[in-house]
Amino acid sequence: MCASSCPIRLSFKPSNSHRILSQKEAQKAQKSAEPNEFLCASLWQKDFYLAVKGETRIMEIAPALLEEWLREYYFNAKIDIGSSGVQNFSLAELREVVDISDDELNRVVFDDSPTCGNARLRQAIAQRWGNGDPEHVMATHGSSEVIFLVMNALLRPGDEVVALDPCYFSYRNLAEARGCRLKPWPLRFESKFVPDLEELKTLITPQTRLVMVNFPHNPTGASVTARQQNEIIEAAAEVGAYVVWDTALAALTYDEPPLPDPHPLYERAISIGTLSKAYGLAGLRVGWCQAAPDVIQQFVHLRDYTTLYLSPLIELIAARAIEQADDILRVRLPQARTNLKILADWVDQQGELVEWVRPRGGVTAFIRFCYIRDIEAFCRRFAREYGVLLVPGHCFSHQAHVRLGFGGPTAALQEALDHLSHLLRSESTKLNLLVASPLNTKAVQPSNV
């Protein structure tokens, strides 16, 4: 039985049904249940409790290594080249771009808001990315809340979940904590991070409950074409699996137009969006999902026990930002393109010290430092001695890489890359492997498969 007094989720294996039980109901059900018949999860704690015949076993969610790293270094860094979004706006800068008046702000009343978001915000999301129907939209506290709701509402112990590798920690950790079988779909550096769709099709089986993807991809910058997007959706549809598609970086593409939102393409597609990555509003903490109304109602049921709704002030700013999203992109997308060129030139100049795959989208590259043996220690030294944030690959279970974000201020990026060159050559000198002058580029051009 759960140590918490809050409602708990019960999943009976024979019927695979879900409902929220009271503590008293759960205790009664437990007395008659066979071992391993159900999983009960506290909505308020990080621990999941597996109740078996009066015995409580705790299944902890794995540490969020990326968040732990950012907590340690992000707030004290002088320069950030580890984050995965564009340069954030100040409120004053945002108001210049989207023209939010003092009168609009002053008219905000801090009433409760509707569970799924106010009408204007949902309509703005539905019109820009969806089918125009706000009943298919739920606004949330960042995309992280959507991920939590999806994993807890739709997954059952024993379900198969296919997820990209590397991937954002919440997808992997929450699925495993729910007792699911995670099947990685790897993006390989040796294959230029090109997604292997034939491999994906072998991973999807009749037991697959969710296929989770994010293209353009964080941290590799990989992406797919619209035709390949359709192939992914069709492969999931053949077995009736949900497709959870994180569209956080959809607007940041360099060689092809942005991919269409997948929700209008497939009734079991759940698209996840955010104002954090492409729109420079990370601190606003606004995300959303587009899904079938019956799926959204399952999310509502869980949200009644957690965050309830967004602030009306946040909704006003978010709605205006989405209504004028093209104006925001006209500021940040050219900056991202400029910064990508600067990064590409820098990689060329490093010779044999650095290897990479040029990103097709997003504002991160998953880079390898060829002669650095301990990437985590190197990143710690970089933060300590130069005040620069860089994210080591162990945060994505890929120890040989670093995530280098190039979405921030251009001058800061150039300064950070100068510091990085100095430290890389210093470390290489210790190994007597310094390349005195640049050799041929180690950049691997993305394939246009």
Q: Would you say 289 and 138 are in contact if contact means Cβ atoms under 8 Å apart?
A: yes
pLDDT average, residue stretch 44-61: 45
> Of 107 and 56, which is predicted with more confidence?
107
Torsion, Cα 161 269 250 153, to 10 degrees, reads: -60
Residue 22 has pLDDT above 90, yes or no: no
Sign of the alpha-carbon dihedral angle for 63, 310, 120, 270: positive
pLDDT average, residue stretch 408-414: 98
Residue 16 has pLDDT above 80, yes or no: no
Residue 21 has pLDDT above 90, yes or no: no
Element (H, E) at 21: strand 18-21
- Do 65-89+327-444 and 94-325 fold alike per CATH? no
What whole-number distance in Å separates Cα of residue 305 and Cα of residue 237? Answer: 32
> Of 156 and 33, which is predicted with more confidence?
156
The overall average pLDDT reported for the chain is 86
Pairing of strands 160-165, 181-186: parallel
Q: Cα angle at 281 between 277 and 282, to 5 degrees?
A: 65
Instruction: Select the CATH number that applies to the domain covering 94-325 from these four: 3.10.20.30, 3.40.50.800, 3.40.640.10, 3.40.50.720.
Output: 3.40.640.10
Least confident among 168-182, 398-412, 426-440: 426-440
Give the tens place of pLDDT for each residue, 130-153. Answer: 999 999 999 999 999 999 999 999
Give the tens place of pLDDT for each residue, 209-248. Answer: 999 999 999 999 999 999 999 999 999 999 999 999 999 9
Give the tens place of pLDDT for each residue, 79-107. Answer: 999 999 999 999 999 999 998 999 999 99
What whole-number distance in Å separates Cα of residue 154 and Cα of residue 171? Answer: 13
- Considering the domain delimited by 65-89+327-444, tell me its CATH architecture: Alpha-Beta Complex (3.90)
Q: Return the closest-CA partner of residue 281 out of 246, 248, 233, 236.
A: 248
Question: What residue segments make up the domains of the chain, in order of their start?
Answer: 8-60, 65-89+327-444, 94-325
Q: What pLDDT sits at residue 432?
A: 57
Q: Strand, helix or coil at 86?
A: coil
Least confident among 37-41, 95-99, 257-261, 314-318: 37-41
Amino acid present at 107: R
Q: What pLDDT sits at residue 437?
A: 44
Q: With bands split at pLDDT 50, 70 and 90, how would you rate the model's confidence at 30?
A: very low
DSSP assignment letter at 111: -
Residue 24 has pLDDT above 60, yes or no: no
Residue 439 has pLDDT above 80, yes or no: no
Residue 6 has pLDDT above 50, yes or no: no
Q: Return the closest-CA partner of residue 402 out of 13, 109, 73.
A: 73
Q: Would you say 410 and 335 are in contact if contact means Cβ atoms under 8 Å apart?
A: yes
Residue 302 has pLDDT above 80, yes or no: yes
Classify burial at 109, counting beta carbons within 10 Å of its beta carbon; exposed 0-12, middle 13-18, buried 19 or more.
exposed
Percentage of residues of the chain with pLDDT beyond 70: 83
Q: What pLDDT sits at residue 155?
A: 95
